[in-house]
Amino acid sequence: MECLDFEGFSEVAREHAMHPRNYGPMKACDGHARITGPCGDTMEFWLTTQDGKVIEVMFTTDGCGSSRACGSMTTCLAEGRDIAEVLDLQPKEVLAALGACPPECEHCARLAVTVLRAACDDYFRHLPKDGTCMPDGQHRQDGRLKDNPETDKY
Ligand code: FES
């Protein structure tokens, strides 16, 4: 869905909706998930990690301004944090960082956080069995090609 009306958006939320940060796709990643919400919009997140921290995180959405704003702010809040902290990120933190936004943002923030967590789960699922990490700068999969049917539903 597309909406150009940003009524009810704070300045910060409007700015993220119009100019989303970290908009993907990402070519090579350590974790990836794509989920379609009950609204019919799909969000996709990719992340790379180093020493247990999320180094880079990107997203895409086919939803409108509120989903762009929530996806964008979710990436900003996740970047540089320990993966364990990222798993604990709550939709209300995304909404608080955006400031005022319309009620539908609650759903978008929930979807964004759900997809981000699924990308973290994907990362943990694919850790090498011997506990070793990928050498710096190398990531395990091509984010453009990888689908994850387990996280494709919301
Ligand atoms: Fe669909 Fe927000 S209304 S993601």
Interior angle at CA 135, CA 133 and CA 137, nearest 5: 120
66 lines ligand 1 (CB under 6 A): yes
What is the whole-number distance in angstroms between the Cα of residue 131 and the centre of ligand 1? 37
Q: What is the pLDDT of residue 132?
A: 54
Asked if the model's pLDDT at residue 129 lies above 90, the reply is no
Query: Rounded distance, CA 107 to CA 80, Å?
Result: 25
Query: 89-103: per-residue pLDDT in tens?
Result: 999 999 999 998 888
pLDDT-derived band of residue 126, with 50, 70 and 90 as boundaries? Answer: confident
34 lines ligand 1 (CB under 6 A): no
What is the whole-number distance in angstroms between the Cα of residue 37 and the centre of ligand 1? 7
Number of domains in the chain: 1
39 lines ligand 1 (CB under 6 A): yes
Asked if residue 144 belongs to a domain, the reply is no
CATH assignment of the domain containing 114 = 3.90.1010.10
- By CB neighbour count within 10 A (0-12 exposed, 13-18 middle, 19+ buried), where does 4 fall? exposed
Asked if residue 130 belongs to a domain, the reply is no
**Pair 102, 70: CB distance under 8 Å:** no
Query: Rounded distance, CA 120 to CA 124, Å?
Result: 6
Asked if residue 60 belongs to a domain, the reply is yes
The pTM for the full model equals 0.85
Asked if residue 118 belongs to a domain, the reply is yes
- Helix ranges, the chain (H): 11-18, 65-78, 83-87, 91-98, 104-125
The DSSP bridge pattern shows strands 141-142 and 53-61 to be unpaired
Asked if residue 69 belongs to a domain, the reply is yes
pLDDT-derived band of residue 150, with 50, 70 and 90 as boundaries? Answer: very low
What is the whole-number distance in angstroms between the Cα of residue 105 and the centre of ligand 1? 7
Asked if residue 1 belongs to a domain, the reply is no
Query: 28-63: per-residue pLDDT in tens?
Result: 999 999 999 999 999 999 999 999 999 999 999 999
Domain range enclosing 26:
11-125
What is the whole-number distance in angstroms between the Cα of residue 70 and the centre of ligand 1? 9
Asked if residue 148 belongs to a domain, the reply is no
Mean pLDDT, rounded, of the chain? 86
Asked if residue 18 belongs to a domain, the reply is yes
pLDDT-derived band of residue 127, with 50, 70 and 90 as boundaries? Answer: confident
Query: Rounded distance, CA 79 to CA 127, Å?
Result: 20
Q: Which amino acid is at 31?
A: G
